[in-house]
Amino acid sequence: SNGYFTYDPGFMATSACESKITFIDGDKGILLHGGYPIEQLAEKSDYLETCYLLLNGELPNAAQKEDFVSRVMNHTMVHEQLQFFYRGFRRDAHPMAVMCGVVGALSAFYHDNLDINDPEHRRIAAIRLIAKMPTMAAMSYKYSAGQPFMYPRNDLGYAENFLHMMFATPCADYKVNPIVARAMDRIFVLHADHEQNASTSTVRLTGSTGANPYACIAAGIAALWGPSHGGANEAVLKMLDEIGDVSKLDDFIKRVKDKNDSTKLMGFGHRVYKNFDPRAKVMKQTCDEVLTALGIHDPQLELAMKLEEIALNDEYFVSRKLYPNVDFYSGIILKAIGIPTSMFTVIFALGRTPGWIAHWLEMHSAPYKISRPRQLYTGPVQRDFVPMDKR
């Protein structure tokens, strides 16, 4: 017990690892980063300040924040040759496939002179990854759109710069709407870290072998891609597309409840939250704000809200404690901003980078052993080899 939270010895004996970064209470729907509730960070902080908190365990003072923001915004360019990695992909390659490849390729550019046993080198790698992810993410979109890559601009804010690299072209600048930039920044905050989820556990497990941080983050991106994890935001929009309109909701819910049908209500349910995901509440509020401010009437928002209302009052979902998670409303905001569905999980990976890196740094901050999960063997007992003529 650390005076706040007490775990039974059995849990501690089996838990994957201890961490100071993020606390989740799935029954109460609580998410804290460094002790600060996600609702307060989403409303009062911003993404780079949250990145600083995840990496250092404390909110920065004004001078610390200015220095951190400057270091990040002055490392946003990627090595010019990295562009050639994109050109090896087909134009219709999924941006997550591109990100797995290109982020892993950073090892070939920045790893050689990196000594992961040197804390300062590890912090430089952390800054580089947080700084370069938006550039690489935007490049994966530009490549798929057949448009020229846009260079980052150090004079813009973090979210503004990402939107600039996504939507500006050499022929026309992109005027970033402050409401859209604020919503984008808040979406990054809401995705920044989430304890020992599948992709973060992947980063920690990969890091425990001594692999370089770029390879570890590439492994995290690969794990995030699955529809049960970060791929769910893209799957929610596909689900809403397939349902079509509110008249089809009852049939859809019937299919979800049918034991013989594998249809799931994407954006609902969670391994830990058996109550509302606090991020989903903020995301829904942000969704309302952005669509209203932009004067967008999106029938899919109404469809999602109706679906949520039905599910929250249906015994199948209530008895299984299935509530909306972070992915249920995020796609509707991203679509309103003009981001294509194929980029939704890339946005999740971008937002989650400081969390992955913070866990990688935390693992390196003390002596560690290679992760080696054990198993319960259920195969055949030992037996002798059978020659071919006896099989």
CA dist 331 and 326 (Å) reads 10
Query: Considering the complex, what minimum distance in angstroms separates the CB of residue 182 from ligand SDX?
Result: 21
Q: Dihedrals φ, ψ of 389, to 5°?
A: -70, -5
**Catalytic, out of 270, 277, 288, 314:** 270
232 near ligand SDX (CB under 6 A): yes
Nearer to ligand SDX, 105 or 190 (CB): 190
Nearer to ligand SDX, 143 or 348 (CB): 348
Residue nearest ligand SDX (C-beta atom) = 269
Nearer to ligand SDX, 139 or 322 (CB): 322
CA dist 236 and 256 (Å) reads 14
- Our answer to whether residue 191 is catalytic in this structure is no
Nearer to ligand SDX, 24 or 73 (CB): 24
Largest CA distance in the chain: 79
Within 324-383, the residues that bind ligand SDX by CB under 6 A are 325-327
Residue whose structure tokens are 């972070």:
326
Q: How far is CA 208 from the centre of its chain?
A: 21
Strand partners, 30: 25
Nearer to ligand SDX, 179 or 310 (CB): 310
CA dist 240 and 27 (Å) reads 28
Query: Considering the complex, what minimum distance in angstroms separates the CB of residue 178 from ligand SDX?
Result: 27
Nearer to ligand SDX, 168 or 189 (CB): 189
CA dist 202 and 385 (Å) reads 37
**Catalytic, out of 46, 194, 327, 359:** 327
Residue whose structure tokens are 């994957």:
16
Number of residues that bind ligand SDX (CB under 6 A): 20
Within 248-267, the residues that bind ligand SDX by CB under 6 A are 256, 264-267
CA dist 280 and 272 (Å) reads 14
Nearer to ligand SDX, 61 or 262 (CB): 262
Query: Considering the complex, what minimum distance in angstroms separates the CB of residue 289 from ligand SDX?
Result: 22
Helix (H, G, I), strand (E, B) or coil at 30: strand
Within 267-326, the residues that bind ligand SDX by CB under 6 A are 267-272, 320, 322, 325-326
Burial (0-12, 13-18, 19+ Cβ within 10 Å), 150: buried
Q: Are 115 and 364 in contact (CB under 8 A)?
A: no
Q: CA 64 → CA 55, 67, 124, 362, distances in Å?
A: 13, 5, 16, 20
Query: Considering the complex, what minimum distance in angstroms separates the CB of residue 143 from ligand SDX?
Result: 26
CA dist 24 and 31 (Å) reads 5
Q: How far is CA 225 from the centre of its chain?
A: 9
CA dist 201 and 296 (Å) reads 38
Query: Considering the complex, what minimum distance in angstroms separates the CB of residue 25 from ligand SDX?
Result: 13
Nearer to ligand SDX, 130 or 165 (CB): 130
Stretch that binds ligand SDX, among 117-125, 164-172, 224-232, 301-309 (CB under 6 A): 224-232
Binding mask 174-203 for ligand SDX (x = CB under 6 A): --------------------x--x------
Query: Considering the complex, what minimum distance in angstroms separates the CB of residue 24 from ligand SDX?
Result: 7
Query: Considering the complex, what minimum distance in angstroms separates the CB of residue 271 from ligand SDX?
Result: 5
Query: Considering the complex, what minimum distance in angstroms separates the CB of residue 250 from ligand SDX?
Result: 15
Q: Are 127 and 235 in contact (CB under 8 A)?
A: no
Sheet holding 30-33, edge to edge: 22-25, 30-33, 36-37
CA dist 372 and 12 (Å) reads 17
- Our answer to whether residue 25 is catalytic in this structure is no
Q: Could you give the residue numbers annotated as active site?
A: 270, 327
Binding residues for ligand SDX, rule: CB under 6 A, are 194, 197, 228-229, 232, 256, 264-272, 320, 322, 325-327
